[in-house]
A and B are shown apart, each in its own frame.
Chain A
Amino acid sequence: MRLEPKPAPSLAATLLYPAGAILATLVLAALLVLAAGADPLSVLALVAKGAAGSQFALLETLTRATPLIFTGLAVAVAFRARLWNIGAEAQLYAGAIITVVLGTGVLPLPSYILIPVIMIVAVIAGGLLLLGPAILKTRFGVDEVVTTLLLNFVVVLFVSMLLEGVLKDPMGLGWPQSQKVIADAQLPRIVQGKRLHYGFVLALAAAVGVWIVMKRTALGFEMRAVGHNPEAARFAGIQVNRVLMKTALMSGGLAALAGFSEVAGLKGNLTLDLSPGYGYSGIVVAMLAMLNPLGVVLAAIFVAGIFVGADAMSRSAGVPSYIANVMVATALLTMVVAILLSRYRLRWR
């Protein structure tokens, strides 16, 4: 079997294959529903209804999409330069720790200064957390996939230590949770009485910002060049290692904003279940978006919809909500195949 590049793929083909990937994902989901002894069509309808069937559902999906936009952007930026950041989960928690440390009353600042200060420090913390593996990669040749993966476990244990130690809420009845951030450190809600908060607007702004950096700046060009072919980039006079450092700071910083926005916008405090794997789902989001920053927004809303919809469906139809995780993982694998098939022709020989 061989792969032959297709001449410039038509727009129809570029859309047809990803649509096929989504269809394949739905077929697998339907099979799992059958295995669970339920009716696939009605269950999938329940998922869709739970994700977008009402104002409540829609707002809930956008709320869930917010951290996924940030982690999706973090992964998209890093993967574009072929820096394999699988540690968005850890960087998310770094941002959340900073938000709680600075947001619980130590800084007597008005809200419009306090929130930017927290954001900047969170971004620096997340960036530095990825800078470590990036330096190990460039200086010692240590594969960043393994180091970022292992750091996820270290950081989660560190959070657990903080929550049972210095950051423990004295009024928390023994639960491992931090104090709530003060009102001035909180992001306001977009609709009064609903959970959607201004973190979502920040996420959209971040997506546009990343898009501008990637498409319109020298740094963005250099990142793409390094990702495309590091040797050629070096030959063209690009300082590859320095570009990778900048990429690491940007990617880690974006992931940290996910943690900031979850604490300051939604939860109010830090707990060990702040992120149900948003860092890992960010990889799926970035790949579904084909690493396009604006596509990340759509992909994040799609993935969030699956999670929110499956949660709602699971409560009424009794199919385990883990079906959402299966669908998301399947979508990742079918999408990379679809992208390949839209660019190459398979020849059997």
Chain B
Amino acid sequence: MEALDILFTATFWAAAIRIASPLIFATMGELICERAGVLNLGIEGIMTAGAFAGWFTVYSGGDLWTGVLVAALAGAMFGLLHATLTVPLGLSQHVVGIGVTLLATSLTYFTYRLALPEVTSPPKIEPFAPLPIPGLKDIPILGEALFSQTPLTYLAFLTVAVVAWVLYRTPLGLAVRAVGENPSAVEAQGISVTAMRMGAVMVGSALMAVGGAFLTMSAFNSFFFEMINGRGWICIALVVFGSWRPGKALIGAILFAAFDAYQVRLQQISGGLVPYQVFLMMPYLLSILALVLVARRATYPRALMIPYQKGER
């Protein structure tokens, strides 16, 4: 019974929303890239770079929002690298993506060691504080779960709304979706496929980096190695699970986070009967299971992973 009661507490859902926030940013980032036809496997490394860049900006005396901005810029820079190699040069998105992840991760670790050579325990910053929204915060359960979070969490939800609105309600969004489905038709309209795709990858990468920064600037207050811990790969699964739609991907991210928050609590209840590693494996296994469940009816953007060359069909 105890195990079920957890599901009806506000603290549980508050934790789930907190765990979901970085995933929401990064999933939206990956979704934008893939909607434009580019699989961005740089996500894991870009999140690492964003986590460090944001944290380090604040550690060096910048304010929190400057940190978020610097993280986004760092992400966009790695996005530019990824896009240059995969869009005009048309190189394998698998190989380049893994390469960008390796490069962003190792550059981050190098910079960390260079900037903080002597530290034994990771230095802390003052992270984003919760900002309860007056009025809304008093709603039972929902108030504590949704409306007593940090500003970055609100930004994550706002991002979903903006991405959905731009993708489905603006000419820009139509063009982004079209370059992922039928690039030659877009080119015929006088829009540059290369520019659209590169722009989408840069914006998407910036969002991934902000997702990473959430971890060091809101969820925790310091940077440590391997802190992204596969979250980027999980976001790639979430995009597929959400059928490349922002709203569905958001629900997927929250469900996933709820499960993650739940396994932590089960772990405490189980009292060591089951090895804790079994619980830690669950998020990854769940992602694989989710992929298997939706794979059959997944409708990939038709031009995903297909490089475009002007004048070719």
Contact = CB atoms under 8 A, between A and B. Distances in A.
B95 A332 contact: yes
Interface stretch (A143-151, A189-197, A235-243): A143-151
Interface stretch (A152-160, A211-219, A263-271): A152-160
B130 to A, nearest CB: 30
Interface in A311-349: 318, 320, 322-323, 325-326, 328-330, 332-333, 336-337, 340
A325 B106 contact: yes
A320 B284 contact: no
Interface string A130-166: 0000001000111101110111111001101100110
Contacts of B288: 136, 142, 146-147, 150-151
B85 A336 contact: yes
A146 B275 contact: no
B277 A158 contact: yes
Report which residue of A3, A142, A325 has the largest number of chain B beta carbons within 10 angstroms of its beta carbon: A142
A280 interface: yes
Given A165-B275, A333-B85, A146 B106 contact: no
7 contacts: A140-B295, A143-B240, A157-B280, A320-B109, A326-B103, A328-B102, A336-B95
Interface of B: 41, 81, 85, 88-92, 94-96, 98-100, 102-103, 105-107, 109-110, 113-114, 117, 194, 229-230, 233-234, 236-237, 240, 275, 277-278, 280-281, 284-285, 287-288, 291-292, 295-296, 298, 309-311
Nearest to B113: A320
Contacts of A147: 288, 291
A217 B108 CA distance: 44
Contact of B106 (A143, A283, A322): A322
Q: Is the interface of A mostly helix, strand, loop or mixed?
A: helix
Name the 10 nearest CB pairs between A and B, nearest first.
A325-B106, A320-B113, A329-B102, A329-B103, A161-B277, A322-B110, A157-B277, A322-B109, A333-B99, A150-B284
A284 B102 contact: yes
Chain B, interface SS category = helix
A146 B89 contact: no
Given A287-B95, A336-B95, A142 B295 contact: yes
A61 B281 CA distance: 35
A171 interface: no
